[in-house]
Structure 1
Amino acid sequence: MELTRLRGFRDLIGADARAMSLVEERARAIFDRYSIKEIRIPVLERTQLYQRSSGETSDIVEKQMYTFTDRDEGETVVALRPEGTPGVVRAYIEAGLDRTDPEQRLFYSGPMFRRERPQKGRYRQFYQFGVEIFGRPDAACDAELLIMIEEFCRDLKVPFTMEINSIGDQKCRPAFREALVKWGRAHWDELDDDCHNRIDRNPLRLLDCKKDAKVTESAPNSLDYLCDECRAHFDTVKELLTGVGIHFVVNPRMVRGLDYYTRTAFEVMAGGLGAQSTVVAGGRYDGLVETMGGAAVAGIGFAIGIDRMALALEAAGVLSAVAPDAAIIAMGPAAMRRATLLARVLRANKMNVEMLSPERKMKTLLARASKIGARYAVIIGDDELARGVVQLRNLKESTQSEVQEVQLGEAARAIAESRTK
């Protein structure tokens, strides 16, 4: 039996892994500036957590979760987490924060699992970076999150479009749902089987019809059904974004696929990704904490699709390869011992260094140094060892100079500084 990876899962090697790490590093840096603290949640949770939060009629619960029965005494049914928000809310409630210190700003990161049909940008194991803010029902909080997302995308130099909408709250959304049900029944033949199943259970998902996107153009508009409070909230969000120069598009057909969202919903699409272009999605969920057994605390959050954002970096051509500043070539056992010490000196002076095998010939080692993209080769043999020098070869310009070992640290700092210019 050939051992290969499972369908929908992938290995991330070298540049692919680096692209993912870059997205995570930039996200952490942005979130730190906004005083958002980290939370780490388990990969395994009770299946009931997602049934209660995401809704039993959601695609996640009905089709996509990886579940199994644990071998504990209670034979607990558990699931690999398909999303981050329910686990964060559970931890928030379990720690008693909803009652003792409800205003919290948290971010999470890590793998999620959904048994979807695999395609580029959509995997069965995928990675998310998410933010959840509790205890802030105000529109200023919505705007702050959207401003943060805009800064994050600009920092990565990824071209993007931001779409926002309001889907109302418990007071005004029932009328919108009723109008969607009526519209869905009138357009039954134009909808697919999934939509037929959603008409009564989750009519907002009718706007995600996969059979023919054009059919939803005649569907009811969520903005037409907003109550005065929801309309004022949405108007304030738009006003605040416009005031700081954030460009956005109001898309009244955009809804969130999960039951717990209310009022503001948003998505960010990156250029160059085709159909799977959504890289950030989220919205407000003011009733979720209470639904899951906590206090009546407002909430809002979003998730960044790290896999897709990494693809967006590649499509935008802004992801540069990471190559070592220098490759160290030591000829002979004595030179190898000195080279090990010199590598430590170079790295202490901020140089990226790769030591090459001392058991190969010079020509082979120089070819290897060029292949890995090193800017310089630091060469040391018996003669250099005796004289306390190294040969510093510029592989890009095909020039070579002799450097005293005592001056190597100074040369390393100059090389490292030139990398950042």
Structure 2
Amino acid sequence: MRKQYSNFTLRSEFRYPIFVRLQTLSPQMLKQNKLPNKDKVSGFIKKNKTGTFLELPNSVADRMIERWTKESHKEDEDLYNEETWFAETWDGALKFTLRLCKYSSSSSSINNFHQSKWEIEDFSISSSFSLEKKVTKAGFDLDNAVNWFGINGALSGFGQINSTKTSESEIFSDLRFENQTFSLTVLTGFSKQQTEISYEQNLSTILIVDFEKEQTRSFTLELSSQIRNLLQIITNQKIGINRFTLGMQKIGKPISVNGSVIGYERDDRRENWFISNTFLPKEEKLINHEIRYSSIKKDFQTILESWFTCTKIQVLAENYLNSSFYEVPVGTTLVMLISGIETFFAGEKYENSGSELSAKGKLQHLIKLTPDWENFFGDSYQAEMEEFSSFLIDNRVYRTHGTKRKRVVYIERELIFPVKKLSNILRKFILSQIDIHF
């Protein structure tokens, strides 16, 4: 059975011989959905853990480099394709739209075959070359979404996705992000993959976004990042988006036999979108069940509204995630967290003097706004909180400016516990700002 475009995820690895056209397709060519024999070259497309690469005859690179060098370019400037390239597998089952290809290198093999290598930074796999230029509908497959929304959540009685059976879904409408309106559907059901020798059925959860007005790909990518960040904050685990599905399948003209309509033509404009440098951590099982979907289900519409409309919380949360989820030195984590808190409370002033809060004042302000903040400290919580904040600020100043203060520690491991406590306080504060209390 031939591979379908929907079978791939951002973690998939593959290698296919392909035909490539290095020019834009005309409307007639798009309608025929097949590369013309003229002006196409043979090559290979290969995706592995390091990236996605296109291997072409070296003559392609030679022509482009010759033209490129005649133009005014800097020596360290990268060479990219000037217009979208199109490719398909030899059997025509998979179509590739290659939007951004960066020249990497040239080489020759033992039989003196010269080839050029291109790194593909933005491309789509589909069943059709006729793809939408703007986005009206997008689907995101997130790691562990099925566990949080489905098995461990409130959804049950799963049907089969893309079948006549009804899948479980929840719809959250009239959401706004950067002044754009959209709805978010959580669709849970069974998806199946079948080959000539195997049949596999998996429980799957997809988050589907329907825009009120068509949007750009960059806006769609930013929105997907905010959805992922929200789920990461709630679960306190790394979550990647392993598949982006853009577009929709449209119903075309009716198909008639002996005067009776037996079906409709299908115009499949869906695409499996691959974009480099998206956050895709090592896949891991969801182990943190501190906040379950079932416990916040009735408030989830309000939670989404609060999250998408508060840019300050999004920025603070991203600061928390970048410092806590990436493997960075604990001293760097401290600097990033305090800087994020300072930015969040920029312009906040003391009640008495009217001057802006100091870094320590902003830190203490955040701590006291955190629900049940006293539980992070002992019986003398006020004094302990003041000592804690002074310790963090002294060490942040030292690691930023080199200024030695009373509470500075020089061994990084002595910062691990205090910085971990600060991270926990910050996460609880962020969640409280979007009406999640635990």
Q: TM-score normalized by structure 1?
A: 0.28
Q: Higher RCO, 1 or 2 (CA under 8 Å, sep at least 6)?
A: 1
Structure with the higher fraction of residues in strand conformation: 2
Q: TM-score normalized by structure 2?
A: 0.27
